Structure 1
């Protein structure tokens, strides 16, 4: 593998508590029934433009949803100051891969603005060749748009590319783009559903990423 495409949440960084806190706070501020932690975690990997309506116990019109997205993003920006950390060993692995000359990208369901902000916050602002956020694709995960756009833009060979993620949506996206997939089991909230997608590689620790480049 020469081209490494990473999911962000629960793959590069542990953001689960931040996402739960920000989501629950946003619903509370809007006077809506608060989703359980389990519900929020189950939808991680899916853009809020898809998950928020599904988590709501009340019917929400487009204007209400748009406002809820704005409130969530503001709450996330507050919560992220305390709760985002790289998984152990990830910074070293990324540095090693980059020094070897591998191409590193991020394909996330996050909007590109907070995604870049989070990467910068973690000291990874210039680590990746490019990022793909939810605002940069016509169709969200598990559609392959984010991957295909990068493959085309940087003229990357599909047979040298791997999608690394913690959720079934990442595995499905990789398969839909006809590239290899690597399950980041260190961050998987639902390991069974990830394994059910039969990923090309099943990784227990970030250190195993180096083996994909050998």
Structure 2
């Protein structure tokens, strides 16, 4: 792997945020009078921009979706962002990539305010030069826009930059900015969803991803 710059998605790529996100979605829906007792039915909220997800999955108009986002954040910023697990093997992968002299970034549609706190709390912020995310007003929730902003701010050469993620939004964001992209199959995107975007690489497991960078990792 020749890439000097590696962009990582956060949810479903570095961490498993399942409980924190789905419980916070459940809380937001309840505040709007919508009862969803089964949080597993809310896992499709993990990955896409939250505002658009409420509009798509619950047929909300934009004003009501923003209300839902507000209720979601009410719980998430206090409790939900800590209901999270770093995938086993991620700390060693980040250590190895940094040790190879690569520059690492996070590119997430989650607000950077929350993303940076998650990285700080779970002790992996130190591996990243900077963590990029959206603004609370919804600016740069689109991965194409977010990655374009990151590339411009950091003056990165797309030919030497790789985007790694578990949902189609990550792959589309990278490809439309001229990057090679790596899909990972251990997150929340199905094989069909990821394969449809024709990623440069497709790693079924974190071990396979690690092996691609560090051949002795297995």
Give yes or no for TM over 0.5.
Answer: yes
TM-score by length of 2: 0.86
Query: Are positions 1:150 and 2:150 aligned together?
Result: yes
Asked whether the equivalents of residues 35 and 56 of structure 1 are also in contact (C-alpha less than 8 Å), the reply is no
Partner of 1:200: 200
Give 1:10's match in structure 2, choosing from 7, 12, 18.
12
Query: Are positions 1:108 and 2:108 aligned together?
Result: yes
Asked whether the equivalents of residues 5 and 164 of structure 1 are also in contact (C-alpha less than 8 Å), the reply is yes
Query: Are positions 1:32 and 2:34 aligned together?
Result: yes
Asked whether the equivalents of residues 7 and 107 of structure 2 are also in contact (C-alpha less than 8 Å), the reply is yes
Partner of 2:129: 129
Partner of 2:90: 90
Asked whether the equivalents of residues 110 and 141 of structure 2 are also in contact (C-alpha less than 8 Å), the reply is no
Partner of 1:42: 44
User: Which region of structure 1 is more displaced relative to structure 2, 122-131 or 4-13?
Assistant: 122-131
1:96 to partner: Cα distance = 1.0
SS of aligned partner of 1:109: strand
**After superposition, what is the alpha-carbon deviation per residue over 1:139-190, rounded to whole angstroms, capped at 9, x for unaligned?**
5334x22212222222211011111000111111111111000011111342
Asked whether the equivalents of residues 163 and 174 of structure 2 are also in contact (C-alpha less than 8 Å), the reply is yes
Asked whether the equivalents of residues 93 and 210 of structure 1 are also in contact (C-alpha less than 8 Å), the reply is no
- Per the alignment, do residues 36 and 177 of structure 1 end up closer, same or farther by CA in structure 2, a change over 3 Å counting? farther
- Per the alignment, do residues 35 and 104 of structure 1 end up closer, same or farther by CA in structure 2, a change over 3 Å counting? farther
Structure 1 ranges of 4+ moved more than 4 A: 35-39, 136-139
Q: Distance in 2 between matches of 1:175 and 1:33?
A: 38
1:38 to partner: Cα distance = 5.8
Partner of 1:174: 174
Partner of 1:119: 119
Asked whether the equivalents of residues 184 and 203 of structure 1 are also in contact (C-alpha less than 8 Å), the reply is yes
Partner of 1:79: 80
Matched pairs, number: 210
Q: Distance in 2 between matches of 1:17 and 1:191?
A: 22
Q: Distance in 2 between matches of 1:138 and 1:46?
A: 14
SS of aligned partner of 2:164: strand
Asked whether the equivalents of residues 18 and 76 of structure 1 are also in contact (C-alpha less than 8 Å), the reply is yes
Asked whether the equivalents of residues 163 and 174 of structure 1 are also in contact (C-alpha less than 8 Å), the reply is yes
Q: Distance in 1 between matches of 2:118 and 2:173?
A: 23
